[in-house]
Amino acid sequence: MSQTRRIFLGTAAAGLAASSLRAAPSSRIRVGFIGLGGQGTGRLNQFLKQPDVEAAAVCDLDTHHVERAVALVEKAQGRKPETFHDYRQLLARKDIDAVMIATPDHWHALPTVQACEAGKDVFVEKPLSYSIGEGRAMARAAERHKRVTQMGNHIHNDLPNYRRVVEVVKSGSLGKINRVYCALTSNEKSIGSPADTAPPPELDYDFWLGPAPRRAYNPNRSHLTYRYFWDYSGGCFIDFWCHYTDLVYWALDLQAPQTVSAAGGRWLAQDNAETPDVLEVLYEYPGLVLTWTLHPKGRPGYDHMGSCVIFEGTEATLVANYSRYEVWVKGKRDDNFPKPPQSIPDSPGHIREFLDAIKSRAATTCNVGYGHRLTKGGLLGNIAFRTGQRIAWDDAKERITNSRAADKLVTRRYRKPWKLS
């Protein structure tokens, strides 16, 4: 029997034992951290600030990342966490209550599904998944195993402005809304075109590729810049889709688009990246058209707001960014536009909400079910761009109905021996 198979079977057995025998978490929540690059290190520091968190274990395929994480935990807790190279061995620890997953996008699904099977609650970074099929599997695993989950869409809970915007939109004072614009003022700089080379000794590159196709190592294909390659992610667009479009889905209770089309390219940066740096995506929802703009200048006419979301109503237009919003009536800003009474409670914070839910077993506001509903819209935008087609989406069956080539991108074929259960 191969080592991979032995680890998998051991993890599965441990998961059954954990889900059936382990009691509810005590006042201390033991967390294992999987993926400790820049984003993962930031999350580790945020979790360490919570008084009831014990960083029990850390895991990464880059030994430099592991060493950095151990030093941070030891400084904060006075003792070192257990270290792992293979996340499945971390999941086999019966005393771990939850995991934080901050791996590259193509590595979100497997650890999440297997953590749910092992009886662990899961905090996983956004976008929820690399593919729509993976997101569906993650949501089903969380529901089947009754796990508390949270997608790392922290703007939802950490900045109160979104709550106030949702209250205004839901109040009806803007009138009927049938057009929304999302604009990301991304001025991506060139990441260069380095030559392929041997992987650095500190990185297990074959494991890092995991379910993705085998490729020669290139410095731009790992760590921070992995996002600009289709094998692992969907560019700056998918990176920020969940942050900005979250406001639209929340305020209008959006479900899924009916059609999606896209145009753009990598026109500004000269490098070996694959994903676009100029992009326009047009979504048709029932009674609503949503346009997503990726461009250094954002949305013309609202340059002063930078990256923003614009709700165009029949009575007024509201434009919001992370920290503030403005209302415009008949082409003029109305600073006295009525504010509805507060109806959405203040948040304890994105991570705090997750930790409190582990104890109460309540659902979080960005659980993976919501994360899947939100993320699939961005993934469909990238499918439309990559195929150059206006795609028609059947959300009940989660398939593209007018293009076999596009429908093949709804799921991904994993590289052996990796398999998503």
- The pLDDT tens digits for 186-242 are 878 899 999 999 999 999 999 999 999 999 999 999 999 999 999 999 999 999 999
The partner residues of 261 in beta bridges, in order of sequence, read: 282
pLDDT band for position 26 (50/70/90)? Answer: low
| Report field, pTM of the whole predicted structure over 0.75 | yes
Token pair listed for 78: 């006075």
151 has which bridge partners? 124
The torsion angles phi and psi of 244, rounded to 5 degrees, stand at: -85, -40
Query: What kind of architecture, by CATH, is found in domain 3-156+354-366?
Result: 3-Layer(aba) Sandwich (3.40)
Higher pLDDT, 214 or 26: 214
Give dist(CA 331, CA 255) in Å, integer: 31
- The owner of tokens 């954002």 is 298
Decide if pLDDT at 17 tops 80. Answer: no
The model's confidence at residue 2, banded by pLDDT at 50, 70 and 90, is very low
Measured between alpha carbons, how far apart are the two ends of the chain, in Å? 20
Domain boundaries, the chain: 3-156+354-366, 160-192+222-344+376-402
Please give the structure tokens belonging to residue 300.
Answer: 């013309």
CA 136/CA 54 separation, integer angstroms: 30
Tell me the two tokens of residue 335.
């600073």
Tell me the per-residue pLDDT of 366-420, one tens digit each, with 9 for 90 and over.
Answer: 999 999 999 999 999 999 999 999 999 999 999 999 999 999 999 999 999 999 9
Helix (H) or strand (E) holding 123: strand 121-124
Q: What is d(CA 192, CA 205) in angstroms, rounded to the nearest whole number?
A: 21
Give the three-class secondary structure for 199: coil
CATH class of 160-192+222-344+376-402: alpha beta
> 63-77 and 38-48 helices cross at what angle (nearest 10)?
10
Q: Is the pLDDT of residue 82 over 60?
A: yes
Q: 327 near 334, Cβ under 8 Å?
A: yes
Four-CA torsion 113, 119, 124, 127, nearest 10 degrees = 30
Average pLDDT, the chain: 93
Strand duo 82-84 + 53-59: pairing = parallel
What is the residue-wise DSSP string for 42-60?
HHHHHHHTSTTEEEEEEE-
| pLDDT tens, residue by residue, 127-167 | 999 999 999 999 999 999 999 999 999 999 999 999 999 99
Question: Which amino acid would we find at residue 407?
Answer: D
What crossing angle do the helices spanning 368-387 and 235-252 adopt, rounded to 10°? 130
What are 292-311's pLDDT values in tens digits?
A: 999 999 888 898 999 999 99
Position 5 pLDDT exceeds 80: no
